[in-house]
Amino acid sequence: MYAQMVKTDGDKVKAPDEMSPEEKAFQERVDADIKIEPKDWMPESYRKTLIRQISQHAHSEVVGMLPEGNWITRAPSLKRKAILLAKVQDEGGHGLYLYCAAETLGVSREEMTEALLSGKAKYSSIFNYPTLNWADIGAVGWLVDGAAIMNQVPLQRCSYGPYSRAMIRVCKEESFHQRQGYDIMMAMMKGTDDQKAMAQDAVNRWWWPSLMMFGPPDESSVHSVQSMQWKIKINSNDELRQKFVDQTVPQADYLGLTVPDPDLKWNEERGHYDFGEIDWKEFFEVIKGHGPCNRERLRARVEAHEAGQWVRDAAMAYAAKHAVRRNENE
Amino acid sequence: MNEMPLWEIFIRSQHGLAHKHVGSLHASDAEMAINNARDVYTRRNEGVSIWAVRSTDIVASAPGDKGPLFEPANSKAYRHPTFYDIPDEVGHM
């Protein structure tokens, strides 16, 4: 998902009789749905895994501003432009809620920024695909934010208090993102043949990458068991992916759009859609940095950070100068 | 250059409730903290007033002190109105 390849710390899940008294008490609190708060005792591996997960999630929000920011100046109307600006600003805000949740675990903002800019930290594979035309903005809102919501709603109940509270705020705001995307698609599907073709082309390109957002299939998702026991992961990747397909296909039908999967069909017996094989080779290539836009995205972040350095320096110098003056006056 | 200090942000919503902690952010000084808090935490009319407090200025109780601090209240049920049985005939009290 937004944190789709989180390596869980620790070798294996411990049985209750292998746990230290602290670990046991900790797991009992998690099992009883009592939130873990920043100053509470927690296993070092829980802390490390959460830092990785929350910061990956935050980086995804921040990098996620880039593909959409690409269309702000070329939005087709003032209304769409205002909406897109508000949405991109929200993504920045979501990044900040999450960074501040991660900081309660003892990692600094600088360390996290450095990890992103050096390429050490990961962010969601989805943002390494280009937004080629306006319909992509509709598809991103509808499919990408739709997939994000599917993952974030259960995380509101996760065991770590600050993360859970950040997710509650994010979810409140995210629903607008998906609906505005669907609204763009509806407008285009009421338009000319060319506009309909653009909408279909966008779905063709965004469908599979959206399904990849949920991360590798369960059988190769080695880190899930521990994270689920800690309740920092609530549902399995495949479970959420299936839910997303089941929810989204009827929405595509309503629009008159076709999902680009010849194997997609309703399975009466299962009560779910069956769908085709995902190209996991592509997924791992993108994760490793070889997607269509990986280098461009990182370059944009590095440039923004470096170009803003003098502003941060000036603000700190100004604050220092005024602190001295205040002391002199007292 | 040092990292910008961390500030805890409290927002009072419109309905006359107390300021409530909503999260934190980085800012070089108090003025920037208020401005950033407006952008980060009140994009949808969430508040009518902002407090920003340097995180280092907050004093918190330690989780380990939970017992000594809060357990004494457990045995004092007589502090709650439901401890007292008032006959129905008396009416609402």
pLDDT tens digits for A120-158? Answer: 999 999 999 999 999 999 999 999 999 999 999 999 999
3-state DSSP assignment of residue B78 = helix
Q: Choose among A41, A110, A322: nearest Cβ to B3.
A: A110
In whole angstroms, give the CA distance from residue A110 to residue A113.
5
pLDDT of residue A224: 82
Interface of A with B in 206-265 (CB under 8 A): none
Is the pLDDT score of A215 beyond 70? yes
pLDDT tens digits for A296-322? Answer: 999 999 999 999 999 999 999 999 999
Q: What percent of chain B has pLDDT over 70?
A: 98
What average pLDDT is seen over chain B?
92
Counting Cα atoms < 13 Å in the Cβ hemisphere of A12 gives 4
Which residue did the predictor score with more confidence, A109 or A1? A109
Q: What average pLDDT does range A40-58 have in this prediction?
A: 96
Q: What is the pTM of this model?
A: 0.92
pLDDT of residue A310: 97
In whole angstroms, give the CA distance from residue A150 to residue A227.
18
Asked whether the beta carbons of residue A318 and residue B28 sit closer than 8 angstroms, the reply is: yes
In whole angstroms, give the CA distance from residue B25 to residue B49.
17
Residues 6+ apart with CB under 8 A from A275: A211, A245, A261, A263, A264
Asked whether the beta carbons of residue A103 and residue B24 sit closer than 8 angstroms, the reply is: yes
The alpha-carbon gap from A58 to the nearest alpha carbon of chain B, in Å, equals: 14
Q: Which residue has the tokens 């390849």?
A: A5
Residues of chain B with Cβ-Cβ distance to A316 below 8 Å are 1-2, 4, 28
pLDDT tens digits for A198-208? Answer: 999 999 999 99
- Complex prediction ipTM: 0.86
Q: What average pLDDT does range A188-209 have in this prediction?
A: 98
pLDDT tens digits for A82-129? Answer: 999 999 999 999 999 999 999 999 999 999 999 999 999 999 999 999
In whole angstroms, give the CA distance from residue A151 to residue A3.
10
Q: What average pLDDT does range A251-261 have in this prediction?
A: 98
pLDDT of residue A11: 64
pLDDT of residue B14: 85
Is the pLDDT score of B39 beyond 80? yes
By C-alpha distance, which of A230, A257, A248, A314 is closest to A52?
Answer: A230
What average pLDDT is seen over chain A?
94
pLDDT tens digits for A19-28? Answer: 899 999 999 9
Is the pLDDT score of A1 beyond 70? no
pLDDT of residue A48: 96
Q: Choose among B3, B29, B63: nearest Cβ to A319.
A: B29
The pair of three-digit structure tokens given for residue A199, joined into one six-digit string = 């909408």
